[in-house]
Amino acid sequence: MAGPTTARRGEKKSARSGPPSSGKAGKAGKAEKAGKAGSGGGGGAKKPARQGGSSGSPDGRPGLWTRFRVPSRRTLIITLAGAVLLAGFGTWSLYGSTWLRTEAVKVSGTGVLTVDEVVRAAAVPMDTPLASVDKKAVADRLRAKLPRIKSVEVRRSWPHTVSLKVTERQPELVIQTGGKFVEVDAEGTRFATVAAAPKGVPLLEMAVRDSPGLRRFGADRLRRAAGTVVTALPKALHQDVRTVEVRSFDAITLKLTGGRTVVWGSDERSTAKAKVLAAALKAARDARHFDVSVPTAPAVSGS
């Protein structure tokens, strides 16, 4: 019989050569898996042990007890002694030394008052510790001795100066008494007597001697009502006012230039009344009598 053909012999050789190669690949895969398992499960090289003991943190940094140590008793004593010495030195510097003593008084904000008047009234003790200056007492003395002062700010300007920032009262009305004039501010406070009335300041006539309003409200409250009225007027209208007459709390009358009179009523709703009066004066230039006591129903008469 004839032997196998060349094609068949080739197929047998291919079949023999296939399995051995696949077997080698399988062995390589198993070796690789075994290597991975060994490295992950303790079969590989061991990691170096952590240093720092049990006080260390998991990431290898020093623990709290390592970073923050309780100071020793000696350190505490030295620190406390230093603090006491520093406090004592500071107290001595403020009150016992000659470094921070009062040597000057600086004044600002004055208009009518002079700097010398304010300095004398303040009576700030010189050559004393600046820290011991009683600021409230200085301010109280100024307001008591100089009623023109409405407010004052007292400050220590280190190392040697006391600073006084003054705000003066402004006259809104004047009351004539004999040949002199008493200035009155917007709050109804009488604060100074002068020989001549300030320019552009209306005269206040208090015709309330027998008025029930005087007994009920008092002169201070009635003067304050007059001050409220004049401060509510716009500048152009304010300069036309010559006299503010107060007969009672709800009977205030303005006398303007040109013989014009305005019945104002009380000081309530003064802003609205001022606006109504300004409009009425423009609309009725020849009128002589105006009534704005009820601002929603003003009245004009005379010519």
Nearest to 198 by CA among 145, 261, 148: 148
% of the chain beyond a pLDDT of 90 = 59
Q: Would you say residue 212 has pLDDT above 80? A: no
**What three-state secondary structure class fits 175?**
strand
The per-residue pLDDT for 95 is 62
pLDDT in tens, 218-258: 889 999 999 999 999 999 999 999 999 999 889 999 999 99
Q: Which residue has the higher pLDDT, 219 or 47?
A: 219
pLDDT tens per residue, range 62-74: 555 555 567 788 7
pLDDT at residue 100 in the model: 76
Residue 275 corresponds to which amino acid? Answer: K
The whole-angstrom separation of Cα 77 and Cα 303 is 95
The answer to whether the CB of 267 falls within 8 A of the CB of 252 is: yes
How far apart are alpha carbons 283 and 297 in whole angstroms? 15
Predicted confidence (pLDDT) per residue in 266-298, tens digit:
999 999 999 999 999 999 999 999 999 999 999
Residue partners of 153: CB distance under 8 A and separation at least 6: 163, 164, 165
Residue at 103: amino acid letter: E
State the pLDDT at residue 302: 84
Read off the pLDDT of residues 139-170 as tens digits, 9 standing for 90 and up.
999 999 999 999 999 999 999 999 999 999 99
**Residues 97-108: what's their mean pLDDT?**
86
Q: How high does pLDDT run on average in the chain?
A: 81
- What does the alpha-carbon distance between residue 19 and residue 228 come to, in Å, rounded to a whole number? 117
Confidence of residue 24 (pLDDT cuts 50, 70, 90): very low
Report the pLDDT value the prediction gives residue 211, as an integer from 0 to 100.
65
Residue 92 banded pLDDT, cuts 50, 70, 90: low
Task: Put the strands of the sheet holding 149-157 in their side by side order.
Answer: 104-108, 161-168, 149-157
Q: Which CATH class is domain 173-301?
A: alpha beta
Domain boundaries, the chain: 104-168, 173-301
Residue with tokens 């406090």, as numbered in its chain: 87
Query: Coil, helix or strand for 81?
Result: helix
Q: Which of 123, 122, 129, 121 is nearest to 102 (CA)?
A: 129
Show the CA angle centred on residue 224, arms to residues 180 and 237, nearest 5°: 80
What distance in Å separates the CA atoms of residue 176 and residue 277, rounded to the nearest whole number?
Answer: 27
Strands 190-194 and 203-206: unpaired
Cβ atoms of 265 and 281 closer than 8 Å? no
Distance CA 20, CA 58 (A): 51
Structure tokens at 124: 């700030």
Which of 222, 108, 228, 217 has its CA nearest to residue 168?
108
Please give the share of the chain, as a percent, with pLDDT higher than 70. 70
- For residue 247, the one-letter residue type is R
Choose the CATH number for 104-168 among 3.40.50.300, 3.30.1490.190, 3.10.20.310, 1.10.3720.10: 3.10.20.310
What per-residue confidence (pLDDT) applies to 21? 44
Burial (CB count <10 Å: 0-12, 13-18, 19+), residue 139: middle
**Would the pTM of this model clear 0.85, i.e. be above it?**
no
